[in-house]
Structure 1
């Protein structure tokens, strides 16, 4: 393992080595995510206080922070214990008071001797018609006035850490900032007029005005770029490392695929054919595949995935396709079984429900390669599940699946190729941050014969009209989803809302017409209710959001979403995608509670105007931010200190191509710029990347 470069030692020393930081303060700084001097450098000011010297307090819009020169007048110690200590002062035009609590008179008479002039800076407020400055932030002699910064940066705080000592410890950390060799490509740096790293760090901590706190100022932008660059180098190294890991070359003959394609009643879209080509080329190459297949709702991912599975079967191997829930796994099975039969391929399902003899029979068939394609839930991870020759693992619905699971699945087949499918269109910046180590295939066309979905906004006061519209559709033999609102944080209140709606609809439409599904049900009941709906035994399914992903009921043509304004855009788009899967025209009704907020209005209007999931996800990202979009806790997204994924996508783009080019030209990072990049990785604590270079 290569060691941390010596030039960075001072930044990784103990916090207590900084001026004025004792063990207690160091411990409290943990609340800001600060554990060493380096962390203080990346704790940037978010605001600032104007402390330029003013003539007078007179005429200022109070309360305000002001800096004035005063003549010190009479001291008025408190009459009773715990009272306020007051000092009369006068500036060039008006008299006011400085007020101190729990103050020591001897200290104050030294600090502010009567008859002398001082410059004071602090918050001035009116109290009983008299202007007061309580506990000035700064009190200095007139000749030392320039000690007070004309614009003072304001830092985020936490319990036990106040502005003054924090600023002092940052100043102490800044004294240790070394001059580092440049890791940014010189043309990029000149183009953007970015300062060197050392200058950038010093500049961001010394803003001259509010404008200097903007993301777009060169020093801040440069530091954001450094974070993106380090992150992209890490992903790039991981990618290169995986490419070095030998894969198995699977050269399919094409016979099974042609058999299936010729039997289809429709032609695959151009996007599907392109994705199939990209994937089969990866399967045939000696490196391991690590590809993301991104497609909007209904863009035909399943067919692409099945073609990939057939390619490895043609080459004599096995494939596995994993879904996050049993319902989805069964649905894949139902969708793929007829295709598999037409090609004479053995496809089997393995879920947590398989027990005893049945399970044993499946496992031994798998081991003897009698099962060529396995579809399942995470039950396929279990120790006793062994393949004879696993070549391809397909994971459905990535966001429930971290990098760790991707790796575990890969271990089931030494060097198995991995294809991840997601129906959630991911904005480009998040895709770069989260899947920058993967190659991406995008399905951006809808298969022929898909009808557009008519989307309408309707106030919940018109719920009776919606019900009568529903009644008409049911009489024509159609089916409908009715999704109930997200009420609060708790699933219990969501459930109450769903149960209420279920009761009223049952009373209006008939007992045997309506069923309820929600997250609190035992899985077997949920599956049974869904199965009845899929089979057409029930016409209306009232649901909390459990139906979001993947369920396929071509006969369902109406989607009612109640309190639509309480859902995120991407989620609404996913829900809407549950209808419009057959040949009949479909409708999605977004019911909202008036009045709509401006944001709510914007979200629902975007949805009404477009069915393009990628456009919708970009809007969602702008409106909600990356953390909310995928739930930061389990998203696996990097946490950046300076950079901002939402607004700096273009910067992330450049960082990615720059990182890839650097690694292409200098895979071991041994050139001058490569060595500088190693220092960047240490500085940004990308230990995983550092391990990869040292191994490489």
Structure 2
């Protein structure tokens, strides 16, 4: 795939090639992420001002924006430096004042010569019964009147760049926007009533009413779709390259899986059975599996993972399960081993801690095929780790194992099926944005026997009461988490808050009963503190970051979250899921600082009402927006300029199906529509996709 198509060159030129943009403005725009004309094209107006002409301002309800032709009257200069400079003007029926502060007299005399006609437009307000327009937005000669559109688009501004400069630069960009062939499926375009690309861009920059600014406007919807489609096309290309790697059919016999089921004290849920069937079917097929297993806290992902690993073993191969930290790896081992051993399957763990002869012995057993399932951290990917016949990798998705790493796994010569597990219920539209190259299995029901967690809202004023309750619970042999607030500014502030809380609780509950973990601790100390809590040596664990709490301590039945209003809903739900894992009745106390905003109260009440993570995630998305929901910075979620994942969730699904369909009939993008799609990929700067086509 040779370089960028020439038709797009004008959109990728320097910003200074645009009218009215000099080096200084270009620099300011670049700070706001607008580096080339193309970026301006996709920076759409977010509001508009009605600048339709009126003959007179008489009868307008003030304050209002008015555009009116006037005759310029008397100038009254400012009496003191920086004071008001006034110009009397008269329209068809009445007079009013134009007011300027810090103005240069000579400049105003030239701009508003007494006795001449001018068109003025700006905000009119009443001051002491006099109508005034302070600093009009536009002052034009009648022959220049056409420069103001009847409905003026308002662009999102960046410091130091005015609306005028933005509008001029946008106009200059639109003048060089090329006509492009269409990459959208013609039936879809017809059904949705979408304009061609060029027409859509022009329309989006020239709204005629407030309705045209809505995400549902056909021109905007089309441009949003283009963004989502380019993104999904990239993911679909990655998926086809990933799956083109010869898969190996791992056909389940069911012999080992049935032993595990027989040893279970309960029956799997329908959701678990469905997920296991989907995975087994993928693994039995000739293509490589790339599947995402999405399950809420406590929905029984472990059982599904074990059954998937057993499919690999039944087919004569091995499986690996990767966790982000050693503690979580050990926990997976503890939950997987008893299940696997009931089927006579050998499970081992490999982490950075394994050294010398012990490590060598494990590696030898692995290479010989004597270890069937290996659990570990990313240490399992080191050079000297060789499997006898690796068929499945299960990745516990807390460490954002992206498409690139999944491809690397394939490049190791293992045609490995991949199952990624995530405990964060993500609304479907976001799951598609982040994992569109994978197929989805969802666990949306809880196994029987999980105790519901009682959730209560408590004001900070009642902290003493909470500590007294905690003292009583600890005396009864129960364990508790105490999560400190999230201070955005710095981890150091988080740390002091946590250390302070730790000292207070230690003083109240006694030496040795309270442990502490925070983000600034060395990993070994963190692990040791966690291990003491897991072993029950400490009764209360004070923690800052959410991440450190990925542990399973069935005896822990109390979760206190300070300043719960500073956490996202999904995080709160994750934290709450750390209790209620044993047979004791569990409680989650959401402590807040009054007064709560209406939105914060709504959010905390949703948690009180429901334990359904998918419902919580949907509510969270509606309230907070997609970027916040999964922390855009580290989530690998693309930043869309036009598409709005909350309001246009449905488009994401359509774009995924469309992208997969196009590649199914035209894998190398060589048809007319395929060629148009290549241009779209260049336009949307999907370089990765372009590299993937050239690999293909």
Query: Does TM-score exceed 0.5, indicating one fold?
Result: yes
What displacement does 1:297 show? 0.9
Q: 1:535 to 1:18 in 2, by over 3 A?
A: closer
What displacement does 1:63 show? 6.5
Deviates more, 1:609-618 or 1:96-105: 96-105
Cα deviation digits, residues 472-531 of structure 1 (max 9, x gap): 444443332232333453333333333344344444444343333333333333333322
**CA distance in 1: counterparts of 2:597 and 2:105, whole angstroms:** 53
TM superposition score normalised by structure 1:
0.91
Q: Residues 518 and 546 of structure 1 are in contact (CA less than 8 Å); yes or no, is this contact kept in structure 2?
A: no
What displacement does 1:45 show? 0.8
Q: 1:638 to 1:93 in 2, by over 3 A?
A: same
**CA distance in 1: counterparts of 2:600 and 2:83, whole angstroms:** 51
Residue segments in structure 1 that go unaligned for 5+ positions in a row: none
Q: Residues 291 and 420 of structure 2 are in contact (CA less than 8 Å); yes or no, is this contact kept in structure 1?
A: yes
Q: Residues 29 and 35 of structure 1 are in contact (CA less than 8 Å); yes or no, is this contact kept in structure 2?
A: yes
SS state of the match for residue 343, structure 1?
A: coil
Partner residue in 2 for 1:217: 217
What displacement does 1:127 show? 7.9
TM superposition score normalised by structure 2:
0.91
What displacement does 1:688 show? 2.4
Partner residue in 2 for 1:681: 681
Taking the TM superposition and a 5 Å limit, the aligned residue runs for 1:298-317 are 298-317=298-317
**CA distance in 1: counterparts of 2:494 and 2:410, whole angstroms:** 38
1:376 and 2:380 aligned = no
Q: Residues 295 and 443 of structure 2 are in contact (CA less than 8 Å); yes or no, is this contact kept in structure 1?
A: yes
Q: Residues 272 and 300 of structure 1 are in contact (CA less than 8 Å); yes or no, is this contact kept in structure 2?
A: yes
**CA distance in 1: counterparts of 2:217 and 2:98, whole angstroms:** 40
**CA distance in 2: counterparts of 1:497 and 1:139, whole angstroms:** 56
Q: 1:82 to 1:415 in 2, by over 3 A?
A: same
**CA distance in 2: counterparts of 1:637 and 1:11, whole angstroms:** 25
Partner residue in 2 for 1:114: 114
What displacement does 1:85 show? 7.3
Q: 1:36 to 1:405 in 2, by over 3 A?
A: same
**CA distance in 2: counterparts of 1:87 and 1:461, whole angstroms:** 58
Partner residue in 1 for 2:497: 497
Q: 1:169 to 1:534 in 2, by over 3 A?
A: closer
What displacement does 1:455 show? 1.9
Taking the TM superposition and a 5 Å limit, the aligned residue runs for 1:366-405 are 366-398=366-398, 400-405=400-405
**CA distance in 2: counterparts of 1:461 and 1:35, whole angstroms:** 50
SS state of the match for residue 114, structure 1?
A: coil
What displacement does 1:614 show? 0.6
1:659 and 2:667 aligned = no
Partner residue in 1 for 2:46: 46
Q: Residues 519 and 546 of structure 1 are in contact (CA less than 8 Å); yes or no, is this contact kept in structure 2?
A: no
Q: 1:608 to 1:75 in 2, by over 3 A?
A: closer
Partner residue in 2 for 1:96: 97
Q: Residues 47 and 154 of structure 1 are in contact (CA less than 8 Å); yes or no, is this contact kept in structure 2?
A: yes
What displacement does 1:396 show? 0.5
**CA distance in 1: counterparts of 2:154 and 2:619, whole angstroms:** 31
Q: Residues 393 and 410 of structure 1 are in contact (CA less than 8 Å); yes or no, is this contact kept in structure 2?
A: no
**CA distance in 1: counterparts of 2:538 and 2:456, whole angstroms:** 25
Deviates more, 1:598-607 or 1:681-690: 681-690
Partner residue in 2 for 1:205: 205
Partner residue in 2 for 1:332: 332
What displacement does 1:44 show? 0.7
Partner residue in 1 for 2:138: 138
SS state of the match for residue 456, structure 1?
A: strand
Partner residue in 1 for 2:296: 296
Q: Residues 494 and 544 of structure 1 are in contact (CA less than 8 Å); yes or no, is this contact kept in structure 2?
A: yes
What displacement does 1:397 show? 2.4
Deviates more, 1:684-693 or 1:505-514: 505-514
Taking the TM superposition and a 5 Å limit, the aligned residue runs for 1:455-474 are 455-474=455-474
Taking the TM superposition and a 5 Å limit, the aligned residue runs for 1:143-154 are 143-154=143-154
SS state of the match for residue 584, structure 1?
A: coil
Partner residue in 2 for 1:32: 32
Q: 1:630 to 1:120 in 2, by over 3 A?
A: same
What displacement does 1:54 show? 3.2
**CA distance in 2: counterparts of 1:270 and 1:213, whole angstroms:** 45
What displacement does 1:664 show? 2.7
Cα deviation digits, residues 594-647 of structure 1 (max 9, x gap): 332212211111111111111111111112211111111111111111111111
Taking the TM superposition and a 5 Å limit, the aligned residue runs for 1:109-508 are 111-123=111-123, 133=133, 136-398=136-398, 400-487=400-487, 489-508=489-508
Taking the TM superposition and a 5 Å limit, the aligned residue runs for 1:615-630 are 615-630=615-630
What displacement does 1:413 show? 4.5
What displacement does 1:252 show? 4.0
Residue segments in structure 2 that go unaligned for 5+ positions in a row: none
SS state of the match for residue 400, structure 1?
A: coil
Q: Residues 483 and 560 of structure 1 are in contact (CA less than 8 Å); yes or no, is this contact kept in structure 2?
A: yes
Q: Residues 517 and 526 of structure 2 are in contact (CA less than 8 Å); yes or no, is this contact kept in structure 1?
A: yes
Q: Residues 180 and 198 of structure 1 are in contact (CA less than 8 Å); yes or no, is this contact kept in structure 2?
A: yes
SS state of the match for residue 115, structure 1?
A: coil
**CA distance in 2: counterparts of 1:400 and 1:174, whole angstroms:** 39
Deviates more, 1:423-432 or 1:350-359: 350-359
Cα deviation digits, residues 223-274 of structure 1 (max 9, x gap): 1112112212222222222222212222344333333332222222222222
What displacement does 1:186 show? 3.5
1:607 and 2:610 aligned = no
